[in-house]
Amino acid sequence: MNTLEKDKEALSWLTCAWDDYADNFLFLLPVLLTQTALSAGAFYLIWRYHSLLAAAPYMLFVTTPIATGANLVYIKVARGGGGARFRDLFSAFPVYHRALAVSLWLGVITMGGALLLVVPGVMFFLAYGFSEYAVVDRRTGIKESFQLSAIITDGWKSRLLFVFTLLLLVNLMGPDIFVITGPLKSPSASLNLKPWVLTAAALKTLVFLPWLSLAMARAYNFMLRAPRPEPAEAGKVD
């Protein structure tokens, strides 16, 4: 594919993802509400004990596998055919040790690159980010998940960067009703229930994040079946 064709394909991830979202909203709504409710457990623990350590086990054993399992929901919705099920939200639990290891190792790789410079961290994430998709979709091992992600994203990282940047902006700029402040040793948790915050947080959680997550799932599905670049092209900047 030439540059223009790649750009058109990347744009289609966003446009088709919006159609996926609109067509499957009634199915996605209970999935999104359940994921949000379960994620709130970590906030409660921080509020109750004024400690991030108190919430760490919950985040490792509940929040992380739920977030990884949500990837499979988006993957199946993007594939169409009505194959997505509510139980896919919990799909990471049967392969919990692999899913957790992939998520943690991806975080270590990304943070390691970010400590060097921001750009390497972003590029590492773009190259290996689909490892969290592969472990629930293909049931791959830890090493195989990273290998598959690196292979399929070769030649597409600059297009993924656009969707990733949108996701990052929504996450950073969109407000949350759960607010954690204070020092790391003794944080305080509170709820911000101002009308504008509730409205913005609802749009972020129920519209923009699932739409962009579906766009990433569209990209993943496409790259799985896309032809691999020739050896002579593998070294080109993508």
CA dihedral sign, ordered 123, 126, 132, 138: negative
- Can you tell me the distance from the alpha carbon of 24 to that of 122, in angstroms, rounded to the nearest whole number? 31
Query: What is the model's pLDDT at position 228?
Result: 62
Per-residue pLDDT for 236 more than 80?
no
Q: For residue 233, what pLDDT is reported?
A: 47
| 99-116 mean pLDDT | 79
CA distance 47 to 59: 14
pLDDT tens track for 51-106: 889 999 999 999 999 999 999 999 999 999 889 999 999 999 999 999 999 998 88
Encoded amino acid at 212, one letter:
L
pLDDT in tens, 20-35: 999 999 999 999 999 9
What tens digit of pLDDT does each residue of 153-171 get? 998 998 999 999 999 899 9
Distance, CA of 136 to CA of 53 (rounded, Å): 27
Longest dimension (CA), the chain: 58
Burial class (CB in 10 A: 0-12, 13-18, 19+), 39: middle
In the chain, domain spans: 3-91+156-221
Query: How does pLDDT run across 194-227, given as a tens digit for each residue?
Result: 999 999 999 999 999 999 999 999 999 999 987 6
Residue 32 confidence (pLDDT)? 97
Q: Is residue 234 over pLDDT 70?
A: no
Taking 70 as the threshold, does the pLDDT of residue 118 lie above it? no
